[in-house]
Amino acid sequence: MAKRNNLQIFILTIGVFGILNTEMGVIGLLPSIADHFNVTISKAGWLVSLFALTVAVSGPTLPLLFSGIHRKKVMLLVLGVFVLGNIVSIFTSNFTILLIARIIPALFHPIYCSLAFTVAASSVSKEEAPKAVSKVFIGVSAGMVAGVPIASFIDSAVSYESAMAFFAIVNAIVFIATFIFVPSMPVEERLSYGTQLSVLKKPIIWLSIVTVILLNSAIFGVYSYFAEYLKTVTNMAPDTTSLTLFIFGGANIIGNIVAGKLLTHSPNKSIVSFPLLLGAVYITLFFTGQFTVPMTIITLIWGILAGGIIANINQYLIASSAPEAPDFANGLFISSCNIGTTMGAAAGGLFISEMGTQYVVLVGILSLLLSLVTILLRIYMLTPTRQLSR
């Protein structure tokens, strides 16, 4: 049983890697896409922004609609849609068709990720659930971080079509592995849509959503402009910048492993500590960001906190607020993260245009201060009910 669960979690981890790889990997292909389809770079950017917007919109709704259907069949459906979308992307010469081939899979994106978190958590005991979910998040981090350089490398070494084929191949492999190795997973106790939607009546769920939005805003309000920060503030050479971004990505995976253990043993202490620790990192970044060596060390610590631990904390905040509707809760988590990312990136751009690149760090600090307030309020609301262990 343990071996089967480990294999299942591994397949889910590779699955979310394939999904996130399809979403984020295109960033490394935007110049080639602009040339290939004879469009501007800003128009090519629609492939990223519209994908994220579609995920934000479908996050709470599609997992809810598919929550009563056989889980293995739903996962195969989603993976099949991603494979077909990627195949169309390889062969089309029309930018509008390419855009449609991106938007349709984006609609199904939250379904697979929501199921991956739910299935991973339900395959182990309640106490071990955060650790199982953290393993799946390794695939999320790898997809977000590794997708861009891998796709960019294949594009430059071979061709744009080969890079798009890489996305299709990863999803196809997961489809086959899911079909062969993942056991049948019928929904034994189907929850009505009304029952699941009723969690929105709980103040704690809305407070958790706001907290997740603020925490993700704190991360991506700064990280969205990290490469620009390294270029203009730290004055790093392009090769050193790439290495620094790679360090951030590797640290993400370390953070996922750490987060699983922390949330299993002391969730509340970990959640409260996070904005304080990251706030200290941002303050240090603000005053020493012009120096290369301190910047590299800061990046490592920042990557552990921001990339790995934050994702697990965000999922835990919402999932633990609505344990009676896990699929819907995970959909809310995905949507909240995307909203926070969009808001943070927009605020970061505003701060840069008004004050300069160095001051983008203030977006992160302000968001963290607000998130600390909502976190403490959330713990206060939950303490009398004793819904969390510590």
Q: Does residue 207 lie in a domain region?
A: yes
CATH number of the domain that residue 317 is part of: 1.20.1250.20
User: What average pLDDT does this structure show over 231-254?
Assistant: 80
The number of folded domains in the chain is 2
247 plus 350 within the same structural domain: yes
Q: What does the pLDDT look like over 331-386, one tens digit per residue?
A: 888 888 888 877 888 888 888 888 988 898 999 999 999 999 999 998 888 775 44
Q: What does the pLDDT look like over 141-162, one tens digit per residue?
A: 777 667 777 887 888 788 888 9
Q: At what angle do helices 95-122 and 129-157 cross, to 10 degrees?
A: 150
164 plus 205 within the same structural domain: no
Of the CA atoms within 13 Å of residue 198, those in its CB half-sphere come to 8
Q: Which domain holds residue 146?
A: 2-181
User: What average pLDDT does this structure show over 179-207?
Assistant: 82
Q: Does residue 234 lie in a domain region?
A: yes
Q: Does residue 186 lie in a domain region?
A: no
Rounded distance between C-alpha atoms, residue 250 and residue 59, angstroms: 27
DSSP string, 178-240: HHHHSPP---SSPPPHHHHHGGGG-HHHHHHHHHHHHHHHHHHHHHTTHHHHHHHTS---HHH
127 plus 218 within the same structural domain: no
Q: 150, 181, 212 — which closes off a domain?
A: 181
User: What average pLDDT does this structure show over 217-224?
Assistant: 84
190 — pLDDT class (breaks 50, 70, 90): low
Longest dimension (CA), the chain: 60
Rounded distance between C-alpha atoms, residue 283 and residue 232, angstroms: 18
Q: Does residue 188 lie in a domain region?
A: no
The answer, yes or no, to whether residue 389 has pLDDT greater than 60, is no
pLDDT at residue 307, rounded to an integer: 67
Of the CA atoms within 13 Å of residue 185, those in its CB half-sphere come to 23
Q: 128, 148, 181 — which closes off a domain?
A: 181
Q: Does residue 390 lie in a domain region?
A: no
Q: Does residue 260 lie in a domain region?
A: yes
133 plus 204 within the same structural domain: no
Q: Which is more confident, 9 or 156?
A: 9
User: What average pLDDT does this structure show over 61-90?
Assistant: 92
78 plus 201 within the same structural domain: no
The pTM of this model reads 0.76
Q: Does residue 187 lie in a domain region?
A: no
The answer, yes or no, to whether residue 46 has pLDDT greater than 70, is yes
Q: Which is more confident, 351 or 261?
A: 351
114 plus 202 within the same structural domain: no
121 plus 213 within the same structural domain: no
Residue 192, CA distances (Å) to 60, 65, 325, 349, 363 in order: 15, 10, 10, 42, 40
289 plus 170 within the same structural domain: no
216 plus 130 within the same structural domain: no
Q: Does residue 9 lie in a domain region?
A: yes
Q: Which is more confident, 293 or 253?
A: 293
367 plus 290 within the same structural domain: yes
pLDDT at residue 366, rounded to an integer: 95
pLDDT at residue 321, rounded to an integer: 87
Cα-Cα-Cα-Cα torsion 239, 245, 250, 255, nearest 10 degrees, comes to 160
147 plus 227 within the same structural domain: no
The answer, yes or no, to whether residue 140 has pLDDT greater than 80, is no
Rounded distance between C-alpha atoms, residue 310 and residue 97, angstroms: 35
Neighbours of 384 (CB within 10 A): 7
Rounded distance between C-alpha atoms, residue 14 and residue 114, angstroms: 14
144 plus 201 within the same structural domain: no
